[in-house]
Structure 1
């Protein structure tokens, strides 16, 4: 039976490194959420690019 529950992780400074992102994906992360309240658009764009590379 396929898993129907999605795992959403908020990506910020503590989880920004590629190795940490890979670990989150291996652990089952389905969706990466970027909180924009404390980031600039440029920082968010960099994080999105990093996530897409993985």
Structure 2
């Protein structure tokens, strides 16, 4: 262990490196779903006034 490094920093770094891609993936799915909902709502609004 090098000077100044905490013994839990290795597992903590591993957890962060595992959770960041998961968070990015969840964000992408949520953003895609919101965009799809907005497009569907705009299409429904367009059909209502056509």
TM-score by length of 1: 0.28
TM-score by length of 2: 0.30
Greater strand share, 1 or 2?
Answer: 1
Higher CA-based Rg: 2
